[in-house]
Chain A
Amino acid sequence: MVNSLRSGGDGRRSVAIALLSTVVFFVVVAVAITHAPGWPEVRSQFFDWGQFKATFPEVARAFLLNVKIFSIAEVLILVFALFLAVLRSLPGPVFFPLRALAIVYADLFRGIPTILVIAMLGFGAPALGVSWVPKSVIFWGIVSLVLIYSAYVSEVYRAGIDSIHPSQQAAARSLGLSHGQTLRRVILPQAVRRVIPPLLNDFIGLQKDTALVGTLGAIEAFQQSQIDTNATFNFTAYLSAAVLFVAITIPLARFTDWLVLRDRRRRVAGGTA
């Protein structure tokens, strides 16, 4: 944070300028918005304190479902995506079908809109009428998010694996390590550490996409806020949901920035690429 504030120049002067321009910017925006002719209406329909207080507890309770969904999904994604990335990095012509499968998978699930996968699995799987197939839309929502986010995260892992210099692999193999051992002991520990920031970035995306499970009927924070909005014709409940999402994504985003910064400092200090 401090670093980005001071990036314009050096010392207190640039901090002062940064602060001043920030304040001026926000004052201008605030004045422009609050003096718009429709502002009183917008304020009463989006920023109603009474509505906020009335809806927040219920939306917060519903938010626990979001937390449950993204916590379970994230663990499964990290494992499944790593498996996909390893598949894709398998060497030699024998493994071509597996590599091709991993590529097709990543292309497909990054291409299909999340909402479609959630609807197809959430409605489609129970519609098969097989007795042991779960009927819960929450279950299928988690499955959908794991399928989709694993496609993204496997690409992140792959970028990490690709970023490790080939000489490392050559050195490991020359020491007699098998391909699996090389991956496990040499490549992955370095690769994963390197991609932690983008992994966290995808995790933030996942947190917000849990709201899509609500469209199938699960009452998570966003669906609860829509229920409140539709009952009162007042949109303030959305704000309750937004506050909750922001409350967990912002600390995570700051943490990610800090990790990036630390990593950069270490690399500069250590002199290794």
Chain B
Amino acid sequence: MSKRTLLLASLVAALAAIAALASTQHAAARIVASCPTVKDGQLTIGTDNPAYPPWYAGGAKSSKWKINDPSTGKGYESAVAYAIAGKLGYTRAKVSWTYVPFNKAFAPGAKSFDFDINQISYTPARAKVVAFSKSYYDVNQAIVVNKGTKIAAVRSVAGLRSYKLGAQLGTTSYQFIKSRIKPTQTPSVPSSNAAAVLLLKNKQIDGLVVDLPTAFYVTAVQVPNSKILGQFENTAGQTTDRFGVVLQKGNPLLGCVNRAITTLRANGTLKKLQQTWLAKATGAPILK
């Protein structure tokens, strides 16, 4: 009998301890001032691994990051992230990067990052689950094809309809294919960038829809003998997508990040960084 009571008592104690731990963690996240962060005095920024150009550049040797290391400050998203950090008062030494797979950016529960910057397009449905910052880059979807194939001669959105198209899982590119191109063949939706690129390379798909800067990387590096057939617009002059950094829903840091982005846009920093890192990513013909 006493053994059982003891067991019960220790069980209750353990549960109480867990509950207490949970509530103190909760409190710690709340008490910090107007721009609270996950780790005090530090800004933790998330992105996916591998980190692809032109969003990230350099430094991947002897690093857990593949292709590029985001902490170099090079590449558009890395540069923007450090610019935001600077406006929030964090020096480069106080910024740390953490690997956040795409799914993890919106999974329920406490986030391991202050904000995630990973070419995530704003959509109203997504904004119900996470907080999106103001846009740090307005971007168009584009289509990459193999040179010399039949699709390479197409000059209109309607002309793409009969081809086998593909888009990487998780991108808004697939939604774009479905709602705007409305192809007659079921599109292919591979789970990774690497898989999408292979499908195009192997001619298992005729065209790959990606955002324009990524399209330039695909054609320049990933798929030899491919070209950007063109980019798409929403309505005249309007881009199809806008990228925002993602924060936990209700995170008060959002206001601070938004102020930083507004300043960076107003004082020309964003434009300058786009010229540095994304200059090549303009000037594809617009498909109507």
Contact B203 A217 (CB under 8 A): no
Docked pose: A227 CA to B128 CA in angstroms: 17
Contact A37 B26 (CB under 8 A): yes
The segment from B1-9, B102-110, B146-154 found at the interface with A is: B102-110
Q: Mark B113-125, 1 if CB is under 8 A from A, else 0.
A: 0000000000101
The segment from A66-74, A228-236, A262-270 found at the interface with B is: A228-236
- List residues of chain A with CB within 8 A of the CB of B199: 123, 137, 216-217
B256: CB under 8 A from chain A? no
Q: Contacts A37-B26, A38-B109 hold; do A45 and B129 have CB atoms under 8 A apart?
A: yes
A150: CB under 8 A from chain B? no
B188: CB under 8 A from chain A? yes
Docked pose: A124 CA to B119 CA in angstroms: 29
Docked pose: A85 CA to B189 CA in angstroms: 37
Docked pose: A231 CA to B199 CA in angstroms: 22
Contact A123 B108 (CB under 8 A): no
- List residues of chain B with CB within 8 A of the CB of A232: 123, 125-126, 128-129
- List residues of chain A with CB within 8 A of the CB of B102: 230
- List residues of chain A with CB within 8 A of the CB of B129: 45, 232-234
The segment from B66-74, B85-93, B166-174 found at the interface with A is: B166-174
Expressed in whole angstroms, the minimum distance between the Cβ of B130 and any Cβ of chain A is 6
Q: Per a CB cutoff under 8 Å, which of A42, A216, A233 touches B126?
A: A233
Q: Mark A177-208, 1 if CB is under 8 A from B, else 0.
A: 00000000000000000000000000000000
Expressed in whole angstroms, the minimum distance between the Cβ of A250 and any Cβ of chain B is 27
- List residues of chain B with CB within 8 A of the CB of A215: 190-192, 195
- List residues of chain A with CB within 8 A of the CB of B189: 217, 219, 223, 227
Residues of A15-74 whose CB lies within 8 A of B: 37-38, 41-42, 45-46
Contact A127 B201 (CB under 8 A): yes
Q: Contacts A135-B204, A226-B169 hold; do A233 and B190 have CB atoms under 8 A apart?
A: no
Contact B188 A41 (CB under 8 A): no
- List residues of chain A with CB within 8 A of the CB of B108: 38, 41-42, 45-46
Which residue of chain B has the shortest Cβ distance to A46 in the bound complex? B108
Contact A37 B106 (CB under 8 A): no
Contact B166 A217 (CB under 8 A): yes
6 nearest A-B residue pairs (beta carbon): A217-B188, A217-B190, A233-B129, A233-B106, A230-B170, A232-B125
Expressed in whole angstroms, the minimum distance between the Cβ of A41 and any Cβ of chain B is 4
Expressed in whole angstroms, the minimum distance between the Cβ of A35 and any Cβ of chain B is 11
Q: Per a CB cutoff under 8 Å, which of B130, B169, B202 touches A230?
A: B169
Which residue of chain B has the shortest Cβ distance to A37 in the bound complex? B22
Docked pose: A136 CA to B187 CA in angstroms: 12
Docked pose: A261 CA to B171 CA in angstroms: 49
Q: Per a CB cutoff under 8 Å, which of A136, A216, A230 touches B190?
A: A216
Docked pose: A42 CA to B199 CA in angstroms: 35
Docked pose: A38 CA to B199 CA in angstroms: 40
- List residues of chain B with CB within 8 A of the CB of A135: 202-204
Expressed in whole angstroms, the minimum distance between the Cβ of A62 and any Cβ of chain B is 9
A141: CB under 8 A from chain B? no
Question: Can you list 23 A-B pairs, Cβ within 8 angstroms, ordered by A?
Answer: A41-B108, A41-B109, A42-B109, A45-B108, A46-B108, A123-B195, A126-B203, A127-B201, A135-B202, A136-B204, A215-B191, A216-B188, A217-B199, A219-B188, A219-B189, A223-B189, A226-B191, A230-B171, A231-B123, A232-B125, A233-B125, A233-B130, A234-B129
Expressed in whole angstroms, the minimum distance between the Cβ of A43 and any Cβ of chain B is 9
Expressed in whole angstroms, the minimum distance between the Cβ of A271 and any Cβ of chain B is 48
Expressed in whole angstroms, the minimum distance between the Cβ of B92 and any Cβ of chain A is 31
Contact B191 A214 (CB under 8 A): yes
- List residues of chain A with CB within 8 A of the CB of B171: 230
A218: CB under 8 A from chain B? yes
Contact B174 A218 (CB under 8 A): no
Which residue of chain A has the shortest Cβ distance to B171 in the bound complex? A230
- List residues of chain B with CB within 8 A of the CB of A214: 191
B276: CB under 8 A from chain A? no
B175: CB under 8 A from chain A? yes
Which residue of chain A has the shortest Cβ distance to B188 in the bound complex? A217
Docked pose: A214 CA to B187 CA in angstroms: 12
Docked pose: A136 CA to B199 CA in angstroms: 10
B198: CB under 8 A from chain A? yes
Residues of A227-252 whose CB lies within 8 A of B: 227, 229-235
Expressed in whole angstroms, the minimum distance between the Cβ of B102 and any Cβ of chain A is 7
